[in-house]
Structure 1
């Protein structure tokens, strides 16, 4: 099992964060502009853990060079009964084995819309958590 998959399935926020490069670029399925940096990406992923319910990875796809990995998932959205999402986490790893590019795609449109609304409702909290995490990361180095 891939270490990122294991961390997500165990809802281990520290392990998820430890797998992110400081300059990771996170491309959301519902935002136009990518987010850059470990703190904001970790905070977004914390928000996702709060938003998804009955989350499970259903397939892993490895790139031939070992630096690309795709994890296909299925999930529901808290507070959106009956909405089901199929998605994929596309991960690229740097020379140190850390995720430096993280893109998520989801379908169908109704699921993406529900996800956008759920994440938007907590984005102020996500931004605050990113500020707090950035402070922790800065003092840890």
Structure 2
């Protein structure tokens, strides 16, 4: 099991953040411009852990140094599926973190819920 998965499943956001490289590049499904740096990603991870209901990783694909963590979750009455794509640098820290989510109604629900938490 990837350590990021273990941290998220145990709802230990600080442990998940510690796995991110200081200059991690995070690509969100709801904004065009990537977030850069652990400091920028921290509030997003802290918010999303509360926004997603019934969050569960369903599959894990390991092709080190890249990993794909497939998940399902719910936001209110909107069910969604997604994938966390992680790429680690030579030191093992996550340097790239991309999230993809489907369907569109799930992404819209995520955007609305995150906006209310981050503003």
For normalisation by structure 2, the TM-score amounts to: 0.97
Hey, what does 1:72 align to over in structure 2? 70
Hey, what does 2:59 align to over in structure 1? 59
In the TM superposition, what is the alpha-carbon distance from 1:17 to its structure 2 partner?
Answer: 1.1
In the TM superposition, what is the alpha-carbon distance from 1:2 to its structure 2 partner?
Answer: 1.2
Q: Distance in 1 between matches of 2:42 and 2:20?
A: 8
Query: By percentage of residues, which structure has more helix?
Result: 1
Q: Deviations over 1:102-129 (max 9, x none)?
A: 00000000000000111111222xxxxx
Q: Distance in 1 between matches of 2:55 and 2:73?
A: 4
Hey, what does 1:33 align to over in structure 2? 33
In the TM superposition, what is the alpha-carbon distance from 1:96 to its structure 2 partner?
Answer: 0.7
Hey, what does 2:99 align to over in structure 1? 104
Q: Distance in 2 between matches of 1:115 and 1:13?
A: 18
Gaps of 5+ in 2: none
For normalisation by structure 1, the TM-score amounts to: 0.82
In the TM superposition, what is the alpha-carbon distance from 1:31 to its structure 2 partner?
Answer: 0.5
Q: Distance in 2 between matches of 1:17 and 1:110?
A: 28
Taking only aligned residues, the RMSD between alpha carbons, in angstroms, comes to: 0.8
Q: Which consecutive segments of 4 or more residues in structure 1 shift more than 4 A?
A: none
Query: By percentage of residues, which structure has more strand?
Result: 2
Aligned length: 119
Gaps of 5+ in 1: 125-141
